[in-house]
Structure 1
Amino acid sequence: MSKQLLPGYIIRRGSALERSLLLKFMQRTYQDLFPNEDFSHLEQTVKQYFSSDTPLWWVEEEGEQERNNQYPMPHAPFSMPNAHPPIACLWVGNAIDQVHGNRHAHIFILYVVPEHRRRGIGTALMRYVENWAIQRGDRQIGLQVFQSNKPALNLYNQLGYQTQSIWMVKFLSAEKETQG
């Protein structure tokens, strides 16, 4: 079942059968940020975390679904039952607040294809997931964003998200240091 997200766009709940499409969207997300990297390892992330407890939503252009129902294609791109792939996705999991111990929603991925950006889809998806989280009793929602992803940082800041912690990394040499 789908409903209107914004004028011209509908949102629908994804299914477990769309694992490969989710993986393609995740790979595309990371490729946008890090074009020279290999993201084949994301398959393991999807395999490990994608379940009925981690909801997935797709955004499609309004009218595409009706056209596709009229003229279904047996071998559509992206292994989808329709000819036009979604233009955005939102995948949510669960996290535990390490300070208070409360379970809360955690956004694994929010991605809008470049051709549909700056039309309010990201904002609408964030409001959608916030309402969903409130309805299930969550008191907060979390996400992780790369520091280099300025458009996403701007969106989250405009929506009132605040930095709660900073994830730090140190890259280690794979070679053992020799003692002399």
Structure 2
Amino acid sequence: MNSLPEGYHLRAGKTQDRALLRRFLQELLGELGETPEAPGTIDNLLARVFDARRTPLWWAMRDSAEVGCLWLGRAWDQFSGAQSTYVHLLYVRPEHRRRGIGRFLLDWASEIARTQGDSQLLLQSLPDNTAALGLYAAMGFQTRALFLSKPL
């Protein structure tokens, strides 16, 4: 497994990190030009999904500052029905990218998945997030389905 670059370390998340996780989700959406469709959408997601015990969270740290985030959960593979580890969020702040932090966090997620007996790691990405897609392809991820939506 890759290690974090020198000067960085990993910190386990905790329930009190909800506001920080919210900020990271907002940063990611803003960076991708996406905005939640209604006020409170991120808060509703966190209220329904975030539980530091069942949906573990890790922070890549530089000194005492959070610079990257990995938030995991559980999902079912739509083809096999197998339960798998699912990446809810992988985000590295722009000024810390291209240093191996994202690769480390995905390796960390893979180790957690293996420890849980999972045979795969699942995630979703926006199709125009080319940097992330390049990382995922380099790490062996393959497109298996397209996620489609229709506004109502």
Q: Same fold (TM over 0.5)?
A: yes
CA deviations 1:57-77 (Å, max 9, x no partner) are: 00111xx2xxxxxxxxxxxxx
Which stretches in structure 1 are left out of the alignment for 5+ residues? 65-83, 173-180
Q: Which residue of 2 aligns with 1:57?
A: 58
Structure 1 residue 41 corresponds to structure 2 residue 21:
no
Partner of 1:86: helix, strand, or coil? strand
Partner of 2:107: helix, strand, or coil? helix
Q: Which residue of 1 aligns with 2:87?
A: 107
**CA contact 2:72–2:89 (8 Å) conserved in 1:** yes
Residue 162 of structure 1 aligns to which amino acid in structure 2? Q
Deviating 4+ runs (over 2 angstroms): 37-40, 169-172
Structure 1 residue 18 corresponds to structure 2 residue 12:
no
Instruction: Specify which structure has the bigger relative contact order, considering alpha-carbon pairs within 8 angstroms and separated by 6 or more residues.
Output: 2
Partner of 1:101: helix, strand, or coil? coil
User: How many Å separate the matches in 2 of 1:131 and 1:49?
Assistant: 22
Residue 5 of structure 1 aligns to which amino acid in structure 2? L
Q: How many residues align?
A: 147
Give the 3 Å change call, closer, same or farther, for CA 40–27 of structure 1 in structure 2.
Answer: farther
RMSD over aligned Cα atoms: 1.5
- TM-score, normalised relative to structure 2: 0.91
**Map 1:121-132 → 2, pairs under 5 A:** 121-132=101-112
Q: Which residue of 2 aligns with 1:70?
A: none
User: How many Å separate the matches in 2 of 1:13 and 1:154?
Assistant: 27
Q: Which residue of 1 aligns with 2:65?
A: 85
User: How many Å separate the matches in 1 of 2:5 and 2:32?
Assistant: 26
Partner of 1:29: helix, strand, or coil? helix
**CA contact 2:57–2:70 (8 Å) conserved in 1:** yes
User: How many Å separate the matches in 1 of 2:5 and 2:108?
Assistant: 11
CA deviations 1:14-72 (Å, max 9, x no partner) are: 0011111101101111110016x3574111111110111100000111xx2xxxxxxxx
Residue 69 of structure 2 aligns to which amino acid in structure 1? C
Q: Which residue of 2 aligns with 1:80?
A: none
- TM-score, normalised relative to structure 1: 0.77
**CA contact 2:76–2:83 (8 Å) conserved in 1:** yes
Which stretches in structure 2 are left out of the alignment for 5+ residues? none
Partner of 2:88: helix, strand, or coil? strand
User: How many Å separate the matches in 1 of 2:70 and 2:40?
Assistant: 20
Q: Among all aligned residue pairs of Structure 1 and Structure 2, give the percentage whose two residues are the same amino acid.
A: 37
